[in-house]
Structure formats: C-alpha cells, structure tokens
Amino acid sequence: MTNLTTVTDHALVSNKAKKYQGKSRAASTLRMYRSAIADFDEYCKDQRVSSAPATPSTVANYLAFLADEQKVSTIKVKLAAIAYAHRLAHLPDPTVDSVVETTLDGIVRDKGLLPTTKKAVTLNIMREMVVALPPTLSGTRDRAVLLLGFGGMFRRSELVEIMVEDISLTDEHLSVLIRHSKTDQEGKGLVKHFQMLNERAICPVRALHDWLSGSGIKSGPLFRAIDRYGHVRDKKMSTEAVAQIIKSAAKRIGQDPDVFAGHSLRRGGITSALKHAAEQRDVMLQTGHTDPKTLLHYNEDLGEGATRASRAAFGETDKSQ
C-alpha cells in the first residue's frame, strides 16, 4: 500500500524544504511533520486504508483516535502535517473537507470543556494486572510489555521500536537503548536501566527473560503481534496494541478500561517512583526529561502538595517539618 512517507520523502528534502531548513524553526517543524506523517501511515496500515491519498473520513477517524490521548495542540500539528504532505505530493488535501473541520471543532470543544487525563497504572494495579494474565505466550508477552513500560517509564511509541539488538540482558540486569523518542528526534539515544527485583512477580528483568525464552526471538523487533494460533509474527507490535494490552489487563481485574491508555504506564511509573521518594534527577535519567518542570504535573498526580496546603490552611504542618 502506498503511504505518505513513501510519497513525500523526496519532497521533504526538496529545494523548497532546504529553504526551510535554513531556519532552525523550519527545520524543527519538518522533523515534527516527518514524525507525524509516520504516525499517520502506521494508523492507516493498522486500519487497512490508504494514507496517500487519504480520504476525509480516514482523517476524521484518525483525529477521533488521537483525541483519546493527545492534546489539541498535538492533534493540530499532526493535521497540518497531513495537509502539508498531501500538497507536496500534489494530492487532494483531505483536511479541508467539512467532515474533518467539524470533527476537529468537536474535539476542541469537548477537550476544552472537559479536559480528561488518563489514569495512571499504580504499583498495586500493576501487581494485580500481571498476576491476572493468562499462562499463555500472549500473557508472557503482555507481562513483559506492562512491566518494562512501567519500570522504564516508556512512551508506547518507544516500546514498539525496541529491537533485540538494542537490549543488554544478564541474569540480574537489563539495559535498553532507545534510539529515537518524542523529545530526541535527532537520535542522540537514551539508555534505560533495570535491576532484578526481589518481588519476582513484578520483575521486568525476569519478565523479559521469560518472553525471549518463550517466543524464541533472537533478533529484530522485541515486541510483536501473536496470531490466534499462537504464532509470533515478524513485524513489530503497533502502538495501538500496547494501549489495548493495558486496557485488557485493566478490564481483567475489574477496572474501567476506558480510563486507561498507552500513557498510563509511563504516568504510573513516574508517579510511583516519586511517591517512593526517588530523586527527580534519577527519574529524569530514566524518562529522558531534560527540564525538571516537566515532572511537576506528575507530582501533582500524587496530591501531596495540595494536601500540605490544605493542612496549612487549618494551621497544621507536616510532622516532619
């Protein structure tokens, strides 16, 4: 199937693009557009629809899909990237259709009136999730996905890009090289580290050992789809599959799957680490954040600052002060 990445690759390095690259802001925009186009292509492949050209209904459905987890500003960037790519490829622009415009208007209004934040997977919820997984190859894979995502504070886009060649695994230690991420478009790389835990059921190192042993994977994508016959496929798992693993695990233990999403693992790992007194600088080494301010909203998830303020309003302070 033809996709936008294939159609527009030459256009993104054309003379016109090079003019933009002469300015840092334009070069940054082009990097964002390339990433956005790749995301759209992946979505279209999963849905088995064309991305080049894309129909207005495909774009509208994509916007609705993004609305579950992403901010309006991010959605608008991705929409602009689709429009830009179609124009450069001399294809009809599907983003100007009324069905796309009204869908975006509805998302803006809905998210503006009722902002939603997906629930974090707490440590206790994680314990329940992994214990409840079935003793199948899919269950073994899902356990590794959940525990690595939580302990490594991964974005789901990072999880699906892990290659076997990017991991270093011993009996007691695991390191994972992340070649590219949302905040590392230039590919400087980030290494995430794990140590074997005393609590076997929630140990990411043991979980990955079990997945590699059970799947027989020696190279290529680490996390892959498994068909209904139990056969491990060659291609990498999709980002939507990661979200579905989380939702299914939540449903299995009686949680509402609709309040969880792909970001729930990263949010849960960060908030749990902070709750258990991890230093911010140590959390940032695992997440790849470079600005401590970006962790503020994760601290807000804990409610500890608000609790202290409430106690202070009544003239009380923490006993430790």
State the pLDDT at residue 212: 97
* Annotation says 119 is catalytic: no
Is residue 84's pLDDT more than 60? yes
Indicate whether 276 belongs to any domain: yes
Contacts (Cβ under 8 Å, ≥6 apart) of 68: 261
Question: Which residue in the list 206, 247, 263, 267 is annotated as catalytic?
Answer: 263
Indicate whether 315 belongs to any domain: no
Question: Which residue in the list 43, 62, 84, 298 is annotated as catalytic?
Answer: 298
Last-in-domain residue among 58, 83, 113: 113
Confidence of residue 113 (pLDDT cuts 50, 70, 90): low
Last-in-domain residue among 53, 81, 113: 113
Same domain membership, residue 285 and residue 186: yes
State the pLDDT at residue 39: 92
Same domain membership, residue 214 and residue 276: yes
Same domain membership, residue 231 and residue 134: yes
State the pLDDT at residue 20: 47
CATH number at residue 269: 1.10.443.10
How far is Cα 157 from Cα 239, in angstroms, rounded to an integer?
6
Question: Is 118 buried (19+), middle (13-18) or exposed (0-12) by CB count in 10 A?
Answer: middle
- For 44, 170, 181, 192, the CA distances from 289, given in Å and listed in that order, are 30, 27, 11, 12
Is residue 318's pLDDT more than 60? no
State the pLDDT at residue 119: 86
Rounded average pLDDT over 251-279: 90
Place of tokens 């990433």: 35
Same domain membership, residue 192 and residue 108: no
* Annotation says 266 is catalytic: yes
Same domain membership, residue 261 and residue 152: yes
Is residue 184's pLDDT more than 60? no
Same domain membership, residue 72 and residue 194: no
Last-in-domain residue among 58, 82, 113: 113
Indicate whether 76 belongs to any domain: yes
* Annotation says 155 is catalytic: yes
* Annotation says 76 is catalytic: no
Number of domains in the chain: 2
What does the pLDDT look like over 198-249, one tens digit per residue? 999 999 999 999 999 999 999 999 999 998 888 999 999 998 899 999 999 9
Same domain membership, residue 237 and residue 153: yes
Indicate whether 319 belongs to any domain: no
- Give the range of the structural domain holding residue 19, as residue numbers without chain letter: 4-113
Same domain membership, residue 107 and residue 19: yes
Question: Which residue in the list 119, 206, 236, 266 is annotated as catalytic?
Answer: 266
Region of poorest pLDDT, from 5-9, 92-96, 130-134: 5-9
Place of tokens 């999403």: 261
Same domain membership, residue 186 and residue 75: no
State the pLDDT at residue 1: 47
Q: 48's torsion region: left (phi>0), alpha (psi -120 to 50) or beta? A: left
pTM over 0.85: no
State the pLDDT at residue 231: 92
Same domain membership, residue 91 and residue 145: no
Is residue 19's pLDDT more than 80? no
State the pLDDT at residue 14: 55
* Annotation says 233 is catalytic: no
Same domain membership, residue 280 and residue 133: yes
Question: Which residue in the list 155, 192, 206, 247 is annotated as catalytic?
Answer: 155
Same domain membership, residue 101 and residue 47: yes
Reading the block at residue 152, the tokens are 């490594």
Question: Which residue in the list 16, 182, 193, 281 is annotated as catalytic?
Answer: 182
Indicate whether 314 belongs to any domain: no
Contact between 224 and 232 under an 8 Å Cβ cutoff? The reply is yes
Indicate whether 256 belongs to any domain: yes
How far is Cα 15 from Cα 189, in angstroms, rounded to an integer?
29
Indicate whether 320 belongs to any domain: no
* Annotation says 297 is catalytic: no
Rounded average pLDDT over 136-163: 94
Question: Where is 177: in which H helix or E strand?
Answer: strand 173-178
β-bridge pairing 173-178 and 190-195: antiparallel
Torsion of CA 64, 70, 75, 81, to 10 degrees: -110
Question: Which residue in the list 78, 143, 156, 289 is annotated as catalytic?
Answer: 289
Rounded average pLDDT over 267-291: 85
Indicate whether 316 belongs to any domain: no
